[in-house]
Structure 1
Amino acid sequence: MLGLLGLAMALALQDVLSSLVAGTMLAFQRPFRDGDQIRTADFEGTVEDVTLRAVTMRTFDGVRVFIPNLTVWEEPIVNYTTLGTRRTDLVVGVGYESDLDAVQELLVTSVASREGVLADPAPEAFVKEFGDSSVNFLVLFWHGPHIAEEWSARDAVMRGIKRDFDAAGIEIPLPQRVMSFKHPESADDELLPGKGEPGHASDGQMGR
């Protein structure tokens, strides 16, 4: 009995020590600070506090999460805010009849004029692929690092592109699918007189 109790205490102490060591390493390396927005261990949010035992995070949907330091230390850490800027990629489709050079120029001009989009690095647009019903452009633009800045800039860019496309007569095509149907003769039709089957006379032979 004492042996089992000692083993349980040893395991518990090992977890505590591992968490303390991980907390010390996090404090030494500083992969994030209070106020940074990060993703780790399947959670995304703003760091509120870092102790020797756990990281306190407020997720983007308003939930407070306590993540053990050992879990954070063993998982990849994505820091959204540490570099000061972030890039968003947006795919925009246009009709195959569109002038691609004109579309590219309009996309860059439209995106660059939107609030929240950074001038440096400048926005870019490239032909990405030939889709089923559209030629797809990849639009790249930079903005502030926080999630609110990302969504605000994305909203402004998408609304602006739609308005500028409408003004220029450029269509954003809907997905299209062409379907064909075949109607083979039914079995009943094949058995009707006059179809040339053995044992059935045609109308022209009935009076003979």
Structure 2
Amino acid sequence: MFSQIDYQVTSMWQSFVSSIPVIVIAIIVLLVTGLIAGSAAKIADKLTGKTELRPSLKTLIETLVKLAIWLFGVMLAAIIVFPDLTPGSLFAGLGIGAVAIGFAFQDIFENFLAGVLIMLREKMRIGDFIACEGISGKVEHITLRETHIRAGSGELTVVPNSILFKNPVEILTDVEQRCHSVVVGVSYDADLDKAAEVIRKAVERVDAVDVGKGIDVFANEFNSSSVDFLVRWWAGSSPADELASRDKVVRAIKQALDSAGIEIPFPYVTHTFKHSVPIES
């Protein structure tokens, strides 16, 4: 029994020693593959840097170039270590293995494919402000698995790409300007035509507003203590531009209505009084 074990151990050791040169060659192949992949990525970066491709698409091209070179290098190293392997059998094995790995790492591959498709499509570029599934902010970085979104208050949210691909994404900065709105209430005693004209002229004087795209002032609703106007204007599309233009518009409207003697009423509140002691009949 011990002689059989000794024979097996000796055979395994001799087989390992005899395969050391092959293993060394395979390691050298992998090291050369790494150097070639790095150089190819730099070349791809220089070539794409001269084009007008989006940064996310440039990253995708560099990643695919490195992935293709590494795949070829690993296959070559495997054939060197295992001479019985052929490219056909290796591809067949990779196919079966890919199915098994796909089931085991379904979420990872889903995010990977979503990342590729996000990088290929024209919309949602780095620097855009977006909102999706309660997450909003500026797109800082897009990788093949996740997207980094920086909120206006500074927090960074790392979002799996599958969420951004499968759900509706609102791109706030898809164009340079978008329409903003605010509700302004005036008293029931006010002349509505005059109030609308005062509001319109006040908004027109705001420098952040694009007057050429028009300003809308609609009598919109009968409220409890006021008649409400819906005021709409066009200004910068980023959240910071929206806040800045809204601030100026609200200030201008308030000042104009005060100067015209038009009241902006307080909301009417109904108070209910409760007696602490029952009233005797």
What residue ranges of structure 2 are gaps of 5+ in the alignment?
1-99
Find the aligned partners of 1:32 and 1:10 in 2 and give their Cα distance.
28
Question: For residues 222 and 213 of structure 2, what CA distance do their matches in structure 1 show?
Answer: 27
For 1:115, give the aligned amino acid.
D
The total of aligned residue pairs comes to: 181
Tell me the secondary structure at the aligned position of residue 207 of structure 2: coil
* Higher RCO (CA < 8 A, seq sep 6+): 1
**Is the 8 Å Cα contact of residues 112 and 122 (structure 1) preserved in structure 2?**
no
Partner of 1:65: 157
State the match for 2:280 in structure 1. 186
Distance 1:92 1:36 in 2: 30
> What residue number does 1:82 align with?
174
Q: What is the deviation of 1:186?
A: 2.6
- SS at 2:185's partner residue? strand
CA 1:26/1:164 → structure 2, altered by over 3 Å: closer, same or farther?
same
Structure 1 residues 52 and 180: CA distance shift in structure 2, 3 A: closer
Could you tell me how far 1:112 is from its partner in structure 2? 1.2
**Which position in structure 2 is the counterpart of 1:201?**
none
TM-score (norm 1): 0.80
The equivalent residue for 2:252 is: 160
Q: Gaps (5+ residues) in structure 1?
A: 1-7, 188-208
Identity of aligned residues (%): 36
Contact 2:128 2:139 in 1 (8 A): yes
Deviations 1:37-90 (A, max 9, x none): 111232111111111111111111101121111111111110000122111121
Conserved in 1, the CA contact under 8 Å of 2:102 and 2:109?
Answer: no
**For the Cα contact (< 8 Å) 1:48–1:58, is it kept in 2?**
yes
Code of the aligned partner of 1:86: R
> Which residue number corresponds to residue 3 of structure 2?
none
**Preserved CA contact (<8 Å) 2:181 2:233:** yes
Residue 99 (structure 1) aligns with: 191
User: More helix by proportion, 1 or 2?
Assistant: 2
Bigger strand share: 1
Aligned to 1:32: 124
Aligned to 1:112: 204
**DSSP-derived class of the 2:211 partner:** coil
Alpha-carbon distance between aligned partners in 2 of 1:131 and 1:81, rounded to the nearest angstrom: 33
State the alpha-carbon separation in 1 of the partners of residues 237 and 194 from structure 2. Answer: 31
Report the CA distance between 1:175 and its aligned residue: 1.7
Aligned letter for 1:152?
A
Task: Report the TM-score when normalising by structure 2.
Answer: 0.60
The verdict on how the C-alpha distance between 1:15 and 1:124 changes in structure 2, with shifts beyond 3 A counting, is same
* Aligned AA (1:110): A
Q: Measured at CA, do residues 73 and 84 of structure 1 come closer, stay the same or move farther in structure 2, by a change above 3 Å?
A: same
User: Once superposed, which parts of structure 1, at least 4 consecutive aligned residues long, lie more than 3 Å away?
Assistant: 8-12, 177-181
Counterpart of 2:215 in structure 1 is 123
What is the rounded CA distance, in whole Å, between the counterparts of 1:128 and 1:151 in structure 2?
23
Q: RMSD in angstroms over aligned alpha carbons?
A: 2.3
